[in-house]
Chains A and B, each alone.
Chain A
Amino acid sequence: MVAPQTEELRVEIAGLVDKLGPGRSSLIPILQDIKHRHRELDSETMQVVAEMLDIHPVEVYSVASFYAFLHGAPQGAHVIRLCGTLSCDFAGKDAVADALCDELGIGFGETTADGQVTLEWASCIGMCDQGPALLVDDEVRTRVTPDDARAIVAACRADEGRADA
């Protein structure tokens, strides 16, 4: 018997394939959509996607693991990505990083135990003239101070949905 959540998943993915087309070039948009809504790409999902696009599951895994915004590991309800590049470094990203880690009680690459927030480093996010800069989900924050960082964490904690949803 097929578990109900599997059936639901199949319907969701079939809908995406319908919308985006059954070709290989739909793979990344499909994964982006699922990742955006479910915050993770588990092996079952990747298998269903592979089956529906008629490619090997290893291919799906290999693509997902390549991209920083797609990797399979579960993420929190919100993802904070702090820019680690030189200009943000000069502008004081280390103090912001410390405040984020301290406030969240986790390190970079980790997710809080309650599943609310994931903290990651980002390569340059193109805000070099207004650093330190970070992304909260799809939204950009500039000239972030350690106090701002703490406020951003508090806002993420208080909010169940994604900032961009």
Chain B
Amino acid sequence: MSAQTIDSQGNALTYATIERDAGLRAALDMTRPDIIDAVSQSGLKGRGGAGFPTGMKWNFCAAEKGDLKYIICNADEGEPGTFKDRVILSRFADLVLEGMTIGGRAIGATLGIVYLRAEYTYLRPHLNEVIKERRKRGVLGTSIMGVEGFDFDIIVAMGAGAYVCGEETALIESLEGFRGEPRNRPPFPAVAGLLNNPTVVNNVETLASVAAIFAKGVDWFKAFGTDKSTGYKLFSVSGDCEKPGVYEFPWGITVAALLEEVGGEGAKAVQIGGASGVCVPAREFARRLAFEDIPTGGSVMVIGPQRDMLDVAENFLEFFVEESCGQCTPCRLGNPQMLKAVKLLKEGACPPKFLADVKALGQTMMVASKCGLGQTSPSAFLSILEHFGDEIHDRAPSA
């Protein structure tokens, strides 16, 4: 069957205006340290959720000795409510591959790997086509754009259905042929990543942004956003709103302004950052989407007034129970306990002592879990308990 590209609605995306190859051409006129310096100057922070400064990450990796280095594009996009990477890969794959190539140049890598989630298998033929075409055009392969000694290629590797493999060290384990169980850090991948070689892992959108920054310039990019959160960001908007889709906004937009754009003004809450994110109640809609206020990988799920917040918590916790890798105790045991508490609350039958214990357990998970999954999975549960106490505790015991 033919390759599918399922597009999404939304507003106009800057990526559509970026000229192909312009960024790579500009970068190849610069020295490697200058490339990294430009990324640092741009203030670009990782778009995958954690928000780590991209220039700093590249710098760590570039500083490592060794002939074999890798740059990995994290296309695992498993966070519930996130689909902007799918849209970027469908419409702007060239920019992503170009960003990888610039990164490869900067850190001294010869191979880039796109780790594509199994659920996006239908995008694989398209990506392979674009890669093939880039090789033909001389922007992948040997002596790229005529630059002697700059050899870099890209391959696509498939995930196999595990949310936790979006975590960068689990992703690397998976590429090496193991269970996707996160590693202890340090060492960070930039020092010892794939097959123990220095490795940069970046999100799809981060890499597309790199291409845009080099095509249009650091100052152009910094004109968007806030001091601490430079540039623009894609938001995946879904749930109870009139116009769900992928939207581009400069960092710093308020939740209220975003809701107005997407026709979701009546919401009673918005879940930001996916299942691992936070639940923002209506009275806090003046808050800003930015690393200094509400940081996010871009998932925005609008929750209308008719929804039961315990259903929301239950849906997320079922997800985490399913997706925990089970490697460490707080996460393996904690998620089922939180789910149990939510089910009891729904029945109006949760003993206060049990609820207090589970809340404390959630706090423990946030500090004692090994990876981001267990560190963030209590967040929605705890914020829903905090903000929607009335709705939650007033239930009649079920018959």
The number of chain A residues with a CB under 8 A from chain B is 39
Q: Does A124 contact B (CB under 8 A)?
A: yes
**CB neighbors of A among B74-101 (8 A):** 77-83, 85-86
User: In the docked arrangement, what's the CA distance between A25 and B307, Å?
Assistant: 45
Q: Does B228 contact A (CB under 8 A)?
A: no
Q: How far is the CB of B340 from chain A (nearest CB, A)?
A: 19
Across the two chains, which residue of chain A brings its CB closest to B160?
Answer: A67
Chain B residues contacting A124 (CB-CB under 8 Å) are: 78-82, 319
Chain B 1-26 near chain A by CB (<8 Å), digits 1 or 0: 10010101100000000000000000
Q: How far is the CB of A24 from chain B (nearest CB, A)?
A: 4
User: In the docked arrangement, what's the CA distance between A23 and B275, Å?
Assistant: 36
Chain B 312-324 near chain A by CB (<8 Å), digits 1 or 0: 1001101100110
B318 near A84: Cβ-Cβ < 8 Å: yes
Q: Does A149 contact B (CB under 8 A)?
A: no
Q: A69-B161, A129-B83 are in contact. Are A25 and B239 (CB under 8 A)?
A: no
B245 near A123: Cβ-Cβ < 8 Å: no
Across the two chains, which residue of chain B brings its CB closest to A122?
Answer: B119
Question: Which of A84, A126, A135, A164 lies in contact with B77, CB distance below 8 A?
Answer: A126
Q: A70-B160, A122-B119, A126-B77 are in contact. Are A140 and B238 (CB under 8 A)?
A: no
Stretch of A1-9, A86-94, A95-103 with 4 or more beta carbons under 8 angstroms from chain B = A86-94
B158 near A32: Cβ-Cβ < 8 Å: yes
User: In the docked arrangement, what's the CA distance between A125 and B4, Å?
Assistant: 14
A69 near B1: Cβ-Cβ < 8 Å: no
Question: Which of B177, B246, B312 lies in contact with A86, CB distance below 8 A?
Answer: B312
User: In the docked arrangement, what's the CA distance between A123 and B85, Å?
Assistant: 16
Question: Which of A62, A123, A163 lies in contact with B80, CB distance below 8 A?
Answer: A123
The number of chain B residues with a CB under 8 A from chain A is 55
Chain B residues contacting A158 (CB-CB under 8 Å) are: none
B236 near A128: Cβ-Cβ < 8 Å: yes
B82 near A68: Cβ-Cβ < 8 Å: no
Q: A67-B180, A86-B301, A90-B307 are in contact. Are A128 and B238 (CB under 8 A)?
A: yes
A86 near B239: Cβ-Cβ < 8 Å: yes
B161 near A128: Cβ-Cβ < 8 Å: no
B315 near A89: Cβ-Cβ < 8 Å: yes
Q: Does A11 contact B (CB under 8 A)?
A: no
Q: Does A114 contact B (CB under 8 A)?
A: no
Q: Does A138 contact B (CB under 8 A)?
A: yes
Q: How far is the CB of A49 from chain B (nearest CB, A)?
A: 11
Q: How far is the CB of A94 from chain B (nearest CB, A)?
A: 11
Chain A residues contacting B157 (CB-CB under 8 Å) are: 29
Chain A residues contacting B81 (CB-CB under 8 Å) are: 85-87, 124, 128
**CB neighbors of A among B299-318 (8 A):** 301, 304, 307, 311-312, 315-316, 318
A130 near B78: Cβ-Cβ < 8 Å: no
Chain A residues contacting B244 (CB-CB under 8 Å) are: 87, 128-130
Chain B 144-175 near chain A by CB (<8 Å), digits 1 or 0: 00000000000001101111000000000011
Chain A residues contacting B195 (CB-CB under 8 Å) are: 25
Q: How far is the CB of A132 from chain B (nearest CB, A)?
A: 12
Chain B residues contacting A123 (CB-CB under 8 Å) are: 78, 80, 163, 319, 322-323
Chain A residues contacting B177 (CB-CB under 8 Å) are: 23-28, 63
Question: Which of B1, B179, B311, B319 lies in contact with A85, CB distance below 8 A?
Answer: B319
Chain A residues contacting B238 (CB-CB under 8 Å) are: 87, 128-129, 131
Q: A86-B239, A123-B319, A123-B323 are in contact. Are A28 and B9 (CB under 8 A)?
A: no
Q: How far is the CB of A82 from chain B (nearest CB, A)?
A: 12
Chain B residues contacting A84 (CB-CB under 8 Å) are: 315, 318-319
Q: Does A139 contact B (CB under 8 A)?
A: yes
A135 near B8: Cβ-Cβ < 8 Å: no
Q: How far is the CB of B89 from chain A (nearest CB, A)?
A: 10
**Nearest 5 A/B pairs, CB to CB:** A68-B161, A128-B238, A69-B161, A67-B160, A129-B244
Could you list 15 further interchain pairs (A-B, Cβ under 8 angstroms) beyond the known A66-B179, A67-B180? A24-B176, A27-B177, A32-B158, A66-B180, A68-B160, A70-B160, A84-B319, A86-B80, A87-B80, A123-B319, A123-B323, A126-B83, A128-B80, A128-B238, A139-B122
In the assembled complex, 14 residue pairs joining A and B whose CB atoms fall closer than 8 Å, in A order, are A32-B158, A84-B315, A85-B275, A86-B271, A86-B316, A87-B81, A87-B238, A124-B79, A124-B319, A128-B81, A129-B83, A129-B236, A138-B121, A164-B122
